[in-house]
Amino acid sequence: MPTPSILIATWDNGLYRFDGETFHQELADQSVRSLAGDEHGGVLAIVGGHSLYRRAASGDWTAMAKSEFDLSCCVPIADRIFVGTDDARILRVDPRAPDAIAKNPLSAAASHRAIIGGACGVAQSH
């Protein structure tokens, strides 16, 4: 089993992985927001303000979906990923068909925004 790392997102300088001894930069020169662990040992992130990426446990990054909306946060729930926007929309991504980000946003009611939470920038990776 790999040694756990701490991932630290930045608004304009990518992401840093701390392995307990050294910092390693990933996704250099990009905005990385809203890190969220998934049930497969990976981490989800908003990259560049408009894309949802997934970091596999191996450390490989994959672009999952792109949106015309300004994205601010993400959270996996059951078999879906919910993505919040800067203008209080909630979008749904199906990880089995990741390019198909929901065109019709879910309700932006306060109860839905509470599910998404804030744009936290620290996550643990395995």
Taking only the tens place, the pLDDT of each residue in 13-22 is 999 999 999 9
Domains of the chain with CATH codes: 5-125 (2.120.10.30)
Report the alpha-carbon distance of residue 21 to residue 16 in Å, rounded: 12
Pair 83, 94: CB distance under 8 Å: no
- Which is higher by pLDDT, 104 or 51? 51
Report the alpha-carbon distance of residue 9 to residue 12 in Å, rounded: 9
Given its phi and psi angles, is residue 98 left (phi above 0), alpha (psi -120 to 50 degrees) or beta?
alpha
Taking only the tens place, the pLDDT of each residue in 19-32 is 999 999 999 999 99
In this prediction, residue 119 carries a pLDDT of 39
